[in-house]
Amino acid sequence: MAGHDPLLTDLYQLTMLQGYRASGIGREEAVFELFFRSLPPQRNFLVACGLDMVIDFLETFSFSPADLDWLSSRPQFDPAFVRSLAGLKFSGDVWAMPEGTVFFAGEPVVRVRAPLEEAQLVETRLINLIHFQTLIAAKAARMRLAAPAAVLVDFGLRRCHGGEAGLLAARSAFIAGFDGTSTVRAGERFGIPVYGTMAHSFVQAFAREEEAFLAFARSHPGPVVLLIDTYDTVAAAGKVARVARRLAAEGREKKIAGVRIDSGDLAALSVRVREILDRDGLGDVRILVSGNLDEHSIRALAASAPVDGFGVGTRLGTSADAPCLDCVYKLVESGGEPRFKRSSGKATLPGVKQVFRSRGPDGRISDTIALADEEVDGEPLLVPVMKGGKRIFSERLETARERFSAQIALLPDELRQLSAAAPVHPQLSSALASMASAVAGGTAVRVTKNA
Amino acid sequence: MAGHDPLLTDLYQLTMLQGYRASGIGREEAVFELFFRSLPPQRNFLVACGLDMVIDFLETFSFSPADLDWLSSRPQFDPAFVRSLAGLKFSGDVWAMPEGTVFFAGEPVVRVRAPLEEAQLVETRLINLIHFQTLIAAKAARMRLAAPAAVLVDFGLRRCHGGEAGLLAARSAFIAGFDGTSTVRAGERFGIPVYGTMAHSFVQAFAREEEAFLAFARSHPGPVVLLIDTYDTVAAAGKVARVARRLAAEGREKKIAGVRIDSGDLAALSVRVREILDRDGLGDVRILVSGNLDEHSIRALAASAPVDGFGVGTRLGTSADAPCLDCVYKLVESGGEPRFKRSSGKATLPGVKQVFRSRGPDGRISDTIALADEEVDGEPLLVPVMKGGKRIFSERLETARERFSAQIALLPDELRQLSAAAPVHPQLSSALASMASAVAGGTAVRVTKNA
């Protein structure tokens, strides 16, 4: 419904474009950087996500004749200006952190160098794509840290904010260590493993619970996960054993791969259910739980209960404890001059920047934000992804997932905990610090973590 | 990108459909109801929103040949079952609360009567559409209550969760009393007034702030709102007066409609800016503020500062203090028999229901949840919106907006406050209470507001 749509933008992007053109500066080269000003206290790091969609968006940007007709009818625009938008494309160069990169407040994640009017015009959707997917990847990462060995599946679509959010949340969670999703389109579009169990309504639609279990298992070509909490969870676990025997007698061996518990005291119930299944020779039937889980309840269950997997919906798909981040896209250079903004509490660092990551002898990450043309030790995190408006970077989703996995493994322990660690402050190179101080007339600029 | 897509669903909807068909009960008539189990403590009511998209979705539901090809390749499905999905449509009847209706926990908002397999299949997207839009409308309503006379504009697109969320948030906020949005597509698609000012980057792109103001005003056929906090807000207010004189001398009278302040102490700055504007004969230039506003800061500013309007982004578009609601869609009848679920903490009321709203002599709202065929005093809130899979209800967006406005005006004062009121418990009719108790074997079912 929404998709990559040039009118899915703020009105001011178009009125500013009109202003740039009228002033003759629309084609001056400008550089914008997208970064996160601060992290919420309950996030020790973020995970870059959404770049692939950004490149698609920028590469295919154009106005349709119908869009231009509509704009022409608006009082905000000069019809000659609107006509001049036909054929406008994004022609710039883009550098970015590849998806799955762990990063911190203040670090540029995407850098756009393009004619001022183009770089400005794409701001809204660029933030919209990176902000949300990074938000979900960072939340999913915490869940993965909470249960390193468990199966984690995204069940969030129904309570995500709209359809696109559901689709992209599945992908973001997969990059940040989830095993799969229940969202079918995410399987088809992105090749993510798709998982599913059954709903209470299926059980309710049959006169007897056992009948529902049998009907589901018989109709399903593969192994199934049965939902056992519609009426009485412990009683249902006993029925699972009878159903398994019945299926085995029909030649359907090993048909029941797991059971799901979606309500009640999940820790206590999983212990009872495990005992019943084991007693009945169903030691390889796995126990999955779901129902308003977050990283804290996942950690508690993973540590103490016989739970093999977690279906995580609402709190993942909305990043419920921190549903938004302070993500901005700011002009840092135009006409070859560094630019900055002094607004109270929202000051920005001027100049075209790069992030260099090095690792001390203790293995700790140390990031330095520097000017892009400086020579600084460490690995540069921003890589070229578009040149002259064309994509020059693409990778398999698995590659982003492996990058995340490798980077998360190397984070210091205090950042891998769920509790708030002392915030990471990337260093500023001396050249960047000097430029900031010269341009801003001495205004101290520091990247901080909000309380 | 996502849109009304039959694969934008949970895998289990399709495997359950396979199970229903194999069991021969897929065409049995079933009734599902969508409701919100409880409200977060900081919401005294909700506002029904999203129905128009639900009707579109149901009326156009179908699988494409490409979707079916992909499903055929999956291990979860029997290819003959997948072939049988070609031509599947939604053929049911739908009753719903019209958009803009104020409602409470436990009340059915949408009721679907259809063959079991169809009613089940549409669950995920139906919740996805109603949950999000109702969430945003309820948040917007609080902002409107906080500032009854101010101009309220949605600026949320960039930090909404994906593109569809941004588009639908603009519409939801408009129904719940906002004046407009910055999202251009929402103007084109829904006819919502589109507002815009200018960004800091526009000011930064010029050597001098005044030059940026002049360039923007001259390029814009209509009146403009100038952003004055890029460097020094108070100094910029003085520049606005000079720019206004310059524009007047060019024959551009009344060109500056407003100024926007986006950072700093908005209350103090708006007082200083108002003084400067008034002193310079710009008494009709309005002051708009923005920057991480929520209903509490809006109320404080509306009460004490000379602020005429508010641009509200992130906290509206993500409903940041309560980004999700406990919205569910439950089987209440199948094969003509009432159905319920006893799961711990998630019990449901059986039977096909209606909500009747009456008003006591003191004007207070009193809602009764009853069986649909009962005779109960009051106005029934659920109306027929689809018959045999076809839309039979549509209305102008303005009508929904007027409904909201009329209903909100009649709410008792304690529900119109921003602080948490004692939760509203709709009454259960005696027939419904008897059925619940008979079917559930005496399980007490009560609609409560979670702490």
- A 10 A CB-CB count for A367 gives 21
**B342 interfacial to chain A (CB closer than 8 Å):** yes
Q: How many CA atoms lie within 13 A of A381 on its CB side?
A: 30
Residue A225, both tokens = 């996960």
Question: What average pLDDT score do residues B24-37 get?
Answer: 96
B230 and A343: CB-CB below 8 Å?
A: yes
From B123, B200, B202, residue closest to A19, measured CB to CB: B202
Confidence of residue B449 (pLDDT cuts 50, 70, 90): very low
CATH, domain B11-137+326-439, list 3.40.1360.10, 3.20.10.10, 3.30.360.10, 3.20.140.10:
3.20.140.10
Confidence of residue A123 (pLDDT cuts 50, 70, 90): very high
Q: Tell me the chain B residues in contact with residue A65 when contact means C-beta distances shorter than 8 Å.
A: none
**A184 interfacial to chain B (CB closer than 8 Å):** yes
B11 and A182: CB-CB below 8 Å?
A: yes
pLDDT score at B444: 38
- What DSSP string describes A378-441? SEE--EEEEETTEE-----HHHHHHHHHHHHHTS-HHHHSSSPPPPP-PEEPHHHHHHHHHHTT
Beta-bridged to residue A110, according to DSSP, are A34, A96
CB distance A244 to A280 below 8 Å: yes
CA of A119 vs chain B CAs: smallest distance (Å): 10
Nearest CA among B236, B170, B132, B60 for reference residue B397: B170
B380-421 pLDDT tens trace: 999 999 999 999 999 999 999 999 999 999 899 999 999 999
Beta-bridged to residue B194, according to DSSP, are B181
Q: Does pLDDT of A370 surpass 90?
A: yes
Q: Which 3-state string (H, E, C) describes B132-162?
A: HHHHHHHHHHHHHHHCCCCEEEECCHHHCCC
**A257 interfacial to chain B (CB closer than 8 Å):** no
In this structure, chain B runs to a length of 451
Nearest CA among A330, A17, A112 for reference residue B196: A17
Q: Does pLDDT of A441 surpass 90?
A: no
CA of A210 vs chain B CAs: smallest distance (Å): 13
pLDDT score at B442: 43
Q: Does pLDDT of A305 surpass 60?
A: yes
Task: Provide the mean pLDDT of chain B.
Answer: 93
> What are the residue ranges of helices labelled H in B24-150?
51-60, 65-72, 79-83, 116-121, 123-146
> What are the residue ranges of helices labelled H in A177-279?
184-190, 200-204, 209-219, 233-249, 266-279
Q: Tell me the chain B residues in contact with residue A202 when contact means C-beta distances shorter than 8 Å.
A: 16, 19-20, 120
B245-272 pLDDT tens trace: 999 999 999 999 999 999 999 999 999 9
Nearest chain A Cα to B350, which residue? Answer: A204
pLDDT score at A451: 31
From A76, A127, A201, residue closest to B221, measured CB to CB: A76
pLDDT score at A348: 80
Beta-bridged to residue B387, according to DSSP, are B390
B232 and A123: CB-CB below 8 Å?
A: no
Which of A44-58, A255-269, A295-309, B1-15 has the least mean pLDDT?
B1-15
Confidence of residue B344 (pLDDT cuts 50, 70, 90): low
- A 10 A CB-CB count for B102 gives 26
Q: Tell me the chain A residues in contact with residue B2 when contact means C-beta distances shorter than 8 Å.
A: 1-3, 162-164, 166-167, 185
- What DSSP string describes B353-390? EEEEEEE-TT--EEEEEEETTS--SSEE--EEEEETTE
B 195-224 residues with CB < 8 A to A: 195-202, 204-206, 215-216, 218-222, 224
Q: Does pLDDT of B148 surpass 90?
A: yes
Beta-bridged to residue B295, according to DSSP, are none
Confidence of residue B2 (pLDDT cuts 50, 70, 90): very low
Which of A293-297, A422-426, B62-66, B210-214 has the least mean pLDDT?
A422-426
B229 and A8: CB-CB below 8 Å?
A: no
Task: State residue A159 phi and psi, 5-degree precision.
Answer: -110, 5
Q: Tell me the chain B residues in contact with residue A162 when contact means C-beta distances shorter than 8 Å.
A: 2, 128-129, 132, 161-165, 167-168
B221 and A30: CB-CB below 8 Å?
A: no
Q: Does pLDDT of A42 surpass 80?
A: yes
Confidence of residue A2 (pLDDT cuts 50, 70, 90): very low
Q: Does pLDDT of B336 surpass 60?
A: yes
- Output helix, strand, coil percentages for chain B, rounded to the nearest 5: 40, 20, 40
Query: Given CA atoms A95, A96, A97, A100 in this order, what sign does their dihedral have?
Result: negative
From B23, B163, B264, residue closest to A215, measured CB to CB: B23
A184 and B331: CB-CB below 8 Å?
A: no
B 359-378 residues with CB < 8 A to A: none
Nearest chain B Cα to A156, which residue? Answer: B10
B231 and A157: CB-CB below 8 Å?
A: no
Q: Does pLDDT of A415 surpass 70?
A: yes
Q: How far apart are CA A95 and CA A77, in angstroms?
A: 32
Question: What average pLDDT score do residues A248-254 get?
Answer: 93
Q: Tell me the chain A residues in contact with residue B185 when contact means C-beta distances shorter than 8 Å.
A: 2, 5, 7-9
Q: How distant is the alpha carbon of residue B28 from its chain centre?
A: 33
Classify domain B148-317 by CATH architecture. Alpha-Beta Barrel (3.20)
- The CATH superfamily label for domain A11-137+322-439 reads nicotinate phosphoribosyltransferase (3.20.140.10)
**What is the pTM assigned to this prediction?**
0.96
Question: What average pLDDT score do residues A299-324 get?
Answer: 98
pLDDT score at A440: 66
A263 and B215: CB-CB below 8 Å?
A: no
Longest dimension (CA), chain A: 82
Q: How far apart are CA B41 and CA A89, in angstroms?
A: 48
Q: Tell me the chain B residues in contact with residue A230 when contact means C-beta distances shorter than 8 Å.
A: 341-343
Q: How far apart are CA B387 and CA B415, in angstroms?
A: 35
Nearest CA among A214, A217, A210, A212 for reference residue A255: A217
Q: Tell me the chain B residues in contact with residue A206 when contact means C-beta distances shorter than 8 Å.
A: 23, 25
CA of B367 vs chain A CAs: smallest distance (Å): 26
**B340 interfacial to chain A (CB closer than 8 Å):** yes
**A346 interfacial to chain B (CB closer than 8 Å):** yes
In this structure, chain A runs to a length of 451
Beta-bridged to residue B71, according to DSSP, are none
Q: How distant is the alpha carbon of residue A160 from its chain centre?
A: 12
On the 0-12 / 13-18 / 19+ scale of CB atoms within 10 A, B51 is: buried
A 305-324 residues with CB < 8 A to B: 314-315, 318-320, 323-324
B 109-148 residues with CB < 8 A to A: 116, 120, 123-125, 127-129, 131-132, 135
Nearest chain B Cα to A67, which residue? Answer: B188
Size of interface A-B (CB pairs under 8 A): 375
Q: How far apart are CA B15 and CA B10, in angstroms?
A: 9
pLDDT score at B226: 98
A196 and B10: CB-CB below 8 Å?
A: yes
Task: Provide the mean pLDDT of chain A.
Answer: 93
Question: What average pLDDT score do residues B187-207 get?
Answer: 94
Nearest chain A Cα to B123, which residue? Answer: A158
CB distance B72 to B346 below 8 Å: no
A431 contact partners, CB below 8 Å, separation of at least 6: A370, A371, A374
pLDDT score at A39: 96
Q: How far apart are CA A31 and CA A14, in angstroms?
A: 18
Ramachandran area for residue B70 (φ above 0: left; ψ -120 to 50: alpha; else beta): alpha
The percentage of residues in chain B with a pLDDT greater than 90, rounded to a whole number, is: 87
CA of B356 vs chain A CAs: smallest distance (Å): 26
Residues of chain B with CATH 3.20.20.70: 148-317
Residues of chain B with CATH 3.20.140.10: 11-137+326-439
Q: Tell me the chain B residues in contact with residue A2 when contact means C-beta distances shorter than 8 Å.
A: 1-3, 162-164, 166-167, 185
B8 and A116: CB-CB below 8 Å?
A: no
Question: What average pLDDT score do residues B287-311 get?
Answer: 97
Q: Does pLDDT of B79 surpass 60?
A: yes
B215 and A161: CB-CB below 8 Å?
A: no
From A9, A159, A165, residue closest to B327, measured CB to CB: A159
Classify domain A147-317 by CATH architecture. Alpha-Beta Barrel (3.20)
Q: Does pLDDT of A154 surpass 90?
A: yes
CB distance B395 to B335 below 8 Å: no
Residues of chain A with CATH 3.20.140.10: 11-137+322-439
